[in-house]
Structures are given as structure tokens and as C-alpha cells.
Structure 1
Amino acid sequence: MEKEKWWKKAVVYQIYPRSFYDANGDGIGDLRGIIEKLDYIRDLGANVIWLCPVYKSPMDDNGYDIADYYHIDEAFGTDEDMDELIAEAKKRGIRIIMDLVVNHCSDEHKWFQKAKADPEGPYGKYFYIKKGIDGKAPNNWRSIFGGSAWEPIEGTDYYYLHIFTKKQPDLNWENKELREEIYKMVNWWLDKGIGGFRLDAITYLKKEAGLPSYPADGEDGLVSVAHGALNQPGIEALLREFRDRTYGRRETLTVGETAGLTPETLLSFISLEDGVFSMVFEFSWCQLELKGPNYFWYDRQEWTPEDLKRELFSSHEMAGDRGWFGVCTENHDQPRSIDHYLPREGRNYYGATMLASMYLLLRGTPYVYQGQEIGMRNCAYASMDDYNDVSTHNQYNRALADGFSPEEALRLVQLESRDNARTPFQWDDTENAGFTTGKPWLKVNPNYTGLNAAQEERDEDSVLTWYKKMIGLRLHSQWSELISEGTFAPAYREEKNLIAYRRSFEGKTLLVLCNMQPEERELTLVAAPGQVLADNYKEAAFTGNTVRLRPYEVLIAEEA
């Protein structure tokens, strides 16, 4: 019997615990804070929570450097708090999926401590540890966060590989003993009752045999690690074994963060028949402004709604009816979507609600990132001293090294920093936005006095109310089966600055029209529409089969 694909009827709410809600007043969000806010998430309509890492960690990369996979970091609470969170979420019909980081661990993990003490011993083989060449690193790979991807082991002539920060040594998945340790840990968490995993940086697991150097692609003499470590041949075999030994035996949701997938490999990852994961994130349209393998923030290109439409449509047409995506416009690694996707004149209620409908009704499982549902915005700190994120500081220093002024480098940071999405959640208009009674670990966005959840819950015309309406339409309406099971097809593709598509199932069709421009437009439809399900201007403007779409209007209607 085929496993139930319950995740096709899911809306996932992503929580970045450090910034969600602080229950004990130390300035850091925690598990007890999440427990206190479960009713808020239930009332929004989400039925799954993706929890960013809460494992023991020195927090060099805010928890994505794990020192102990089996225990909760004291900053977030206790192991018992985690058990309570799983149980309390279940009472409300909400499943918890954990962030799983197994491309690398922390340099403070006991495995790495043993590897450093004996690089040629059994734990040395859990990592990529090699002797240097003439006192230099074993190859010229550049870390994603900048600088060499190799760090010397002090007092020896050995180096270890780290694709991310030097405190995140890469795990060697070619080593069977290491894989067995990971399978044991993953099954332990599944036995505790979690509903699945988001798999971090998972397409970096396989490295090219021999770890060769490549021609440099920068003045530093280094080359992007993507050449030898991203989506390498043979990775699918590793991942299929992983699936079959762990989550594949159960009814789980697994979503991969899968940079580097090609059209040829996509379906093997997301096939509804035999995919490695339930779904992967569709990121091709999430950072259209960044180009090149290194994603330097200064290496930018202009894009238009037509570019967004092209990427969105091509990926969904590639997946067709056989594959499944996790769809999102925000997460903990991206700027806020209102500032990212919309010009200044569209950064308002209409733009925010149009973007929400555009992605929440796509074929796939939608993910709502905390604060997105109330329209939280980027926060442009005035000083680099206010930024916490390690990649932000690396990008700033990279820009300075390549000739940008401090002012220019700071402006790039303000546009792209991951801290834009990590400012504390804005619960109300009291001090620190109601996030904490202490000093927040990261400065609160000062716009909280006029933009917060308490205010929007009282407003029938708020962004939050619109999100609830769209999630209700997706999960609890006569159209729910069409939205979860129906086909996807682009519509009115030739219309500039219009993203329009059809969702069809068993003879019924919904038409979604998103006007991506600050000007009105008239659109002649192939037929007069039937029932109008939603319009962010409240009343749709029809004359026969011609519709007038106002700036950033979204119209959702039955197609007759």
C-alpha cells in the first residue's frame, strides 16, 4: 500500500526559534515560547511547523553547527521542553519537522575532537582530513562564506575541509561508520514522534573523488566549492540509502535544500513515485538578482517580473504532475519578500497580499516564514556592529576587499543580509515588540509600533487576515482538493508584468491573476469568469469578459 502523502495537504510554518518568542526574558527565543504561541499558529491555519536547529551548538552559525544531535541547546530550553512541544503541537493537529544538518557538524562535536587528536584514526575518517601540499591547503576550493575551504589542524600538517565556516567541518559520507551513526540518530528522532525533516545543504554531501583543484575564478586564486562538492555524480545513491534506512520507512515530510539540481536530475529528487525526498525547495526564483557560483552580494543583476514569471513557470512545468515542490518566497536565509520582490510603490497591503496568493495557491506545499504573514519588512541597521550573521560579515569584508567603500558595502548588506529575516517577531506594540522582557539578541525592527500581530488580528483588512483566508481556501474549502491535487498551467503568458496560472481538477478550474505592476491594466479573458473566490481590492472590476486589474491586484476566480 502506498504511503499516505499527507504533506500534499499541508501548510508549513517555519520558525527561527531564536527570534520567535522569548518565554524566560533572556533575550533569546525558546521552546517554551513556541509552546505558548501554538494557538497563534493553529489559528493562522498552518498544520506543520518547520523548526530551525535547536540542538546543542556553539552557535557560530546560529545552530547550523551542531555539537550534539541528541540534546537541546540550553539557550532554547531542555530535552523535556522539546518532548512537550511535540506533544502540545500534536494536540492541535500540528506536526513538527526538524532541521537536519548532516553535511557538516560543529568543530566542538565529539567526533571532530577525536579526529583532531588522531587524524589517521577511525574518527579522522568521519571527515575530509588531508595533509597540506608544500605548507599550503590540499586544494584551492573557496568556502561559501569566503576564504579557503581548508583549515589547518594546529600543531600538525593536516587540514580539514569546511564548505561553510571553519567551525563546520564537513562529514565524510563515503565512510560507512559515519553513515550508520547518522541513520541511528535520525531514527531516534522519528521514534520521538516528529513528522520529518528539512535537510540542510544536502546536495553538498558528495565530493569529487580526489578533491582536485580547478582554475581560479577570483583574484584570491581560489575557486567556488561548487565545482567539486555540489550535486556530484553518485549523490543520489547515497541519498537513496539514507531514505531507505530512515525516513522512507514512515509517513514523513522531507524537504531538501538542494542547490545545484539540474533539469535532468530534478525528478529523481521530487518524483511522487520514487523521489529521494517528498519535495525540494524551488529556489530558482528566490534570488534572481544574484549571479555566478559564489553569490557575492555585489555581483548583482537587474531583473523584472518577466524574469520571475519565466523561472516560476519553467520549474513547475519541469516538475509537471509527477513531481512536488516546497514553495516559498521567504525563509531565514532570504530578505523579506515585500522588499525583495516589489518596487517601493508596491510595498503595501496590495503588494503583500498579491505575493501571498501568487505562491500559496501553486502546486506544491507552501511554507510561511515567521512574520511573513503580518508583512514584516527588512531592517536596515546603520552599523555593521548591529549585524550578527556570519555570512553577512563575510560578504561585507569581501566587498571591501574588492574595492567597495564601507558605505557601498553596508548598503549591499542592508539589501541582502540574512538578519533581515531574523529580527525578532513583532507580536505587539509594547517594548521590544512583545518578543522579550530582556535585551533582544538582535535589534527589533523599529517599525513594530505600527506593524505587529496584535494590531493585525483586530483588522479584517490586514495582511494576516488575508493569509488566513488563503490558507483556509487551500485547506478547508470546496476548492481544497483542486488546489492540493490539481494540475498547474500558465495562463496569459504573453501579458507583460502579469503572473497568471490555472489550477484544474476533475473538470473544475481556478484562475489566479496577479498584476505585478504599479499601473492598472485591462485583460480580456477567454470567457467571463464564474464565482470570484477572492480579490484583494474586495470587488473585482469586470465588464463582460474584460477585467480591469488595479496596481498589485490579485484576483482568484472560477473559470467558466
Structure 2
Amino acid sequence: MKKTWWKEGIVYQIYPRSFNDTSGNGLGDIPGITEKLDYIKSLGVDIIWLCPVYKSPNDDNGYDISDYRAISEEFGGSSAFDELLEKMHEKGLKLVMDLVLNHSSDEHEWFKESRKSKDNPYRDYYFWKPAKNDKEPNNWISFFSGSAWLKDDITEEYFLHLFTKKQPDLNWENPKVRKEIHDIVEFWCKKGVDGFRMDVISLISKQLDFPDTEYPKDYGRTIKNYYANGPRIHEYLNELNKKVLSKYDIMTVGEGPGIDLSNGLEYVHEDRDELNMIFHFDHMFIDNGAGGKYDPIDVPLPKFKKVFNDWDKKLKDKGWGSIFLGNHDFSRMVSRFGDDGFKHHANSAKLLAMLLLTIRGTTYIYQGDEIGMTNVAYPSIDYYNDVETLGSWKEAVKRGENMDEFLKLVHRQSRDNARTPMQWNNKINAGFSDSNPWLRVNPNYEKINVENQENDPNSILNFYRKMIAIRKTNNVLVYGEYICLNEADENLFVYKRWDKSDLYIVLLNFSDETQTTEHIDTDIKASHLVISNYNHNHSFINLRPWEAQLRKL
């Protein structure tokens, strides 16, 4: 297996508007990140993934880009970015930029020109269609609710937007568009960035006949069969790799809605020259019912384990995985997969950290997860900002749903759960800003914050630091073999990592009750404890609620 820095590296994801505000306007900024580089470095991570900071009208918080080469002035502008990049490299940190290449903002100059007339030179930079039977060109729905088509009054045609109406999809069929994109990527590579996270990259190739969906209510199937994995997707990625990416020592990770075990290896196979890694969502959509994220279902632990087991088997010796349990688009990790109540909050957060840092693949840690930040439960929809959440709310109102019950689903599923400001201390606004933040701070910041945990050797924060240090000094936890020892167990997740020199056993109790390991067939009796999230009486036979142990033979 080829060894490289981005396989051994650990990524820390920053959502800039929620990280640290130094200007006092309630919005996080790039100087705020520069100010916290020593903190980030202290975690032991190597790579920062920076969510979009480009010029944008912020209809979708920066994922609607109006100028791909300009840094937004509200984040500090280009000079602040250049200083951040320089300071990061001085400290041995690498920077991965977030690139949105499926769509632009409708305020981008390309789209402004495109909508002027049907014969404008930029017309084919986007997808324009006439009405079909006095309706939209097809029945596709946006990821953010409502039709994926919007009629423009200037030419009386519809343009495609798989996301908000201010995010028109780019037409990769047009070679001029691809050339523009290649030049943008080259621009940032020459500037010295170390890689790219490519937003919804699996959607860039479209089925040009734009067929109606057969299963408009089965959202997961719609994404895979109609929106993603289009006929020229691999041609486009191979071309981008050949013309730009392969010329630089960078890492690439593509966000992959619609990518699953049947097609995932095609994107990351080491012989195909496309992407280094993808984010699949088999575990992140695992609790989505047929109606999507606001139709949640319970998930048994064996189903959760199967995702990790199957993907490791699929990628072994051929590709490389991305290991993550949360990001800016999902609920807080500990609230979703752990126990965010007072009794087991810390131990379940530490257990999830051990999982992240002992599975084969590159580990991604989202800001705030290292202190166990939790979901927020705002008292009203008026407190929420996320365009997806607000769109889903409007659709629920139209359907006549019980909105008190739907608000509980928002508490559980809204993307704003991960976007509340970083909790630095117990002072006003959690130390994030001197003025009212763009999104209200989680009220639990007085207890859950960095300052409280810095000097507590048993804190979640310091457990992360210990686990990261263990992974960094034991390549077996990066490249070693993996096997799950108890696939059918409803409460325990137990697996081995090994190579020619070392063997580790990971024991994770995903339950509120003590669980025995006596039925698990392994040589655990000959092992010794390396680290645990409990501080005393470490029995490998009986694991206490949410207990996590890393053991070595």
C-alpha cells in the first residue's frame, strides 16, 4: 500500500463564520483562525479543512460563490488569507480549501451573462430548458425543498438548481466551463494550498435527457439514480486530475451524495487517477427514512458497524477512506451517535473519538467535537438560519404537519446544530465574539468550553490529544489490517488492528448498560490497556456504559 502524508494526517475542519470573531461584528473571520493556530496545533492535527471563504452573497453560507479567486472581505479579504496560509505553513500545518464546482452563485458574472439572452456566449455555462407542458422541465426536487427548476423572466426559460434558487448548476458538458474550473484549481495550487475538499462532486455530470424520477418520495434512491454518478463523471474527474491535480503534491477529497459501495471505489481507486478520498454518506444518512432526514428511523448498532466493515473491505489495498462522524452539514456527533445527556456525555464523546482515531482511513474532526459540543434546541424556528432547515419547515407547514412535533425534528436534524459558535470559554457569547453572534450560542457553553477542559487531564479535549498522539506514533492504526470481531452484537463494537509488528484491540460499549465481552472470540486476555475513557478498574470482561478501551498485545 502506498504511504503518503494525507493518509497519515489528521484533518481539523473549520466552519469560519462560527469559529472565532476578531472584528467584533458577530461573524467568525480568517484572522480569528490565525489567532487560534497554536490551539489547533496543540491538538496534534496536521491539516485544516477550511469551509468556503470566497466572495459570496451567502445564500447558503458561502457555498454559493460569486468569485472563485476572491476572498470575502467579511472574512478578512485576501491579505488575511495569505497571512493565514503563511502562518500555517510555518507551523507545519497544511490547508485544504473547500471548492464548490457543481454550481456557482447566481451573482457570478457567468450567470449574469448567461441569463441575458438565449444566444449569449455564456448561455451554455448553465442548464437552461423550456417549459414542458406548461410546467417545469421535469419533476426533480431541490436538496433544499421545492422544484429544482426556476423560471427566469428575461428569456422565459428554466434553469437548473439542485440546491437553492441562487445556486444554478454549472454545465460541465461545456468544455469552456471545464477550462474555467481547471484554471481556478490551478490558481489555488499555485498560491500554495495543500488540497481541496470538493463539494457535491458526484453531481457534476448530468443525465442530459433529464428524466422524471420514478421514486420522488425515496430521496436516497433519487440522489443516486438521477442526480449523482452521471455518464461523464469519471471522464471529468480524470481530466481534472490529469490537467491540474497530478502536477501538485496535494490531497483531494470529494463529497459524494449518491456514492455507495457499488460505485465508491471507481472514484478513489489508486489506478484511476481521479480523487484520493471521498466522503460517502452510508453512515450519515443511516437514520433517514424514505422521506429523508426529517423522517428519521432508529438504527441498530450492527447496521452502523456494517458500514465501516463493508467500506474497509471494499477499499482495502485499492483505495483510501475518509473517517468522520460529523461536519457542518449534520447534527453534532455526540448528540447523534453518543449520549449528550449529563450522565454519559463525556464518556460517549471520548468513545467516538477512539472510534475516529482507530479505524483505517484519514480521520476528520469537526470543530467543537474535540470538546463534546452538542446539538442546540432553539425554542422557535425564528432562531434558525440554515436554508435547508427553513425550506423543510415551509414544506412541513404546507403539508399541514404538527409543527410542535416538527420543531423536535429540527432540534435533532438541523444543520445549525453544527454551526453554533465555537465555545471557547464561559464568558459572554462563549468567547466567540464581543457582539451578538450571527447564530445564537448553545446555552450549555458555560459548562462545555475549551477553557474549562484545557487544564483538566480527564477532559474530552485532552482525551482527543492523547488519542491523536497514539495514532501519530503507531502507523498500525493508520495502515494496519482491520477486522470486526462481533458484527451481530447489539451493544459492543469490537475490532482488531494489526500489522507484522503490533496488534491492537478496540473495545467500544455503545450502550447505557454494562456489557460483557466473554462471548467475543479474541486473544484479549493477553493484552494490556493503552488508554481508556474511564479512569479506574479497567476490566476487559465487563465494559461499563459507554466505556472505550484501546488494548495492545
TM-score scaled to structure 1, two decimals? 0.94
DSSP 3-state at the match of 1:142: coil
**Other-structure match for 1:325:** 321
Alpha carbons of structure 1 residues 507 and 178: separation in structure 2 relative to 1, 3 Å: same
TM-score scaled to structure 2, two decimals? 0.95
Displacement of 1:403 in angstroms is: 3.0
Query: Take 1:308 and 1:225, find their aligned partners in 2: how far apart are those partners?
Result: 21
Choose which of 300, 304, 312 in structure 1 pairs with 2:308. 312
Q: Which one-letter code corresponds to 2:333 in the other structure?
A: S
Query: Take 1:501 and 1:160, find their aligned partners in 2: how far apart are those partners?
Result: 49
**Other-structure match for 2:551:** 557
Displacement of 1:296 in angstroms is: 4.5
**Other-structure match for 1:141:** 140
Choose which of 406, 430, 434 in structure 2 pairs with 1:433. 430
1:383 aligns with 2:380: yes
**Other-structure match for 2:237:** 239
Identity over aligned pairs, percent: 39
**Other-structure match for 1:66:** 65
After superposition, give the CA deviation of every residue in 1:106-132 in whole Å (9 maximum; x if it has no partner): 000000000011233221111001122
Q: How does 1:72-87 map to 2 (within 5 A)?
A: 72-87=71-86
After superposition, give the CA deviation of every residue in 1:192-225 in whole Å (9 maximum; x if it has no partner): 1100000100111111122222346359xxx956
**Other-structure match for 2:279:** 281
Query: Take 2:80 and 2:119, find their aligned partners in 1: how far apart are those partners?
Result: 39
**Other-structure match for 1:55:** 54
1:198 aligns with 2:197: yes
Query: Take 1:148 and 1:291, find their aligned partners in 2: how far apart are those partners?
Result: 21
Q: Is the 8 A contact 1:5 1:251 kept in 2?
A: no
Alpha carbons of structure 1 residues 214 and 351: separation in structure 2 relative to 1, 3 Å: closer
**Other-structure match for 2:159:** 160
Alpha carbons of structure 1 residues 393 and 455: separation in structure 2 relative to 1, 3 Å: same
Output the aligned Cα RMSD. 1.9
Query: Take 1:395 and 1:438, find their aligned partners in 2: how far apart are those partners?
Result: 30
Q: Which one-letter code corresponds to 2:247 in the other structure?
A: R
DSSP 3-state at the match of 2:73: coil
Displacement of 1:511 in angstroms is: 0.7
Displacement of 1:11 in angstroms is: 0.5
Q: Which one-letter code corresponds to 1:308 in the other structure?
A: F
Q: Which one-letter code corresponds to 2:389 in the other structure?
A: T
Q: How does 1:320-399 map to 2 (within 5 A)?
A: 320-343=316-339, 347-399=344-396
After superposition, give the CA deviation of every residue in 1:8-66 in whole Å (9 maximum; x if it has no partner): 11000000000000011000000000000000000011110000000000000000000
Query: Take 2:552 and 2:299, find their aligned partners in 1: how far apart are those partners?
Result: 31
Q: Is the 8 A contact 1:144 1:225 kept in 2?
A: no
**Other-structure match for 1:260:** 258
**Other-structure match for 1:36:** 35
Query: Take 1:272 and 1:553, find their aligned partners in 2: how far apart are those partners?
Result: 37
Displacement of 1:342 in angstroms is: 2.7
Query: Take 2:352 and 2:435, find their aligned partners in 1: how far apart are those partners?
Result: 34
DSSP 3-state at the match of 1:75: helix
Query: Take 2:165 and 2:235, find their aligned partners in 1: how far apart are those partners?
Result: 28
DSSP 3-state at the match of 1:14: strand
Query: Take 2:293 and 2:127, find their aligned partners in 1: how far apart are those partners?
Result: 26
Alpha carbons of structure 1 residues 205 and 8: separation in structure 2 relative to 1, 3 Å: same
Alpha carbons of structure 1 residues 272 and 227: separation in structure 2 relative to 1, 3 Å: closer
Q: Is the 8 A contact 1:8 1:484 kept in 2?
A: yes
Displacement of 1:329 in angstroms is: 0.8
Displacement of 1:531 in angstroms is: 3.1
Displacement of 1:324 in angstroms is: 0.9
Query: Take 2:382 and 2:93, find their aligned partners in 1: how far apart are those partners?
Result: 38
Alpha carbons of structure 1 residues 225 and 461: separation in structure 2 relative to 1, 3 Å: closer
**Other-structure match for 1:497:** 491
**Other-structure match for 2:184:** 185
**Other-structure match for 1:229:** 227
Query: Take 1:215 and 1:533, find their aligned partners in 2: how far apart are those partners?
Result: 52
Query: Take 1:342 and 1:57, find their aligned partners in 2: how far apart are those partners?
Result: 35
Q: Which one-letter code corresponds to 1:410 in the other structure?
A: L
Query: Take 1:79 and 1:344, find their aligned partners in 2: how far apart are those partners?
Result: 39
**Other-structure match for 1:537:** 534
1:511 aligns with 2:505: yes
DSSP 3-state at the match of 1:489: strand
Q: Which one-letter code corresponds to 1:502 in the other structure?
A: K
Displacement of 1:370 in angstroms is: 0.4
Displacement of 1:344 in angstroms is: 5.9
Q: Is the 8 A contact 2:300 2:490 kept in 1?
A: no
Larger mean Cα displacement after TM superposition, 14-23 or 202-211 = 202-211
Query: Take 2:462 and 2:399, find their aligned partners in 1: how far apart are those partners?
Result: 45
DSSP 3-state at the match of 1:557: strand
Displacement of 1:266 in angstroms is: 1.6
DSSP 3-state at the match of 1:538: coil
Displacement of 1:309 in angstroms is: 1.3
Q: Which one-letter code corresponds to 1:280 in the other structure?
A: I
Q: Which one-letter code corresponds to 1:468 in the other structure?
A: R
**Other-structure match for 2:299:** 303
Q: Which one-letter code corresponds to 2:522 in the other structure?
A: V
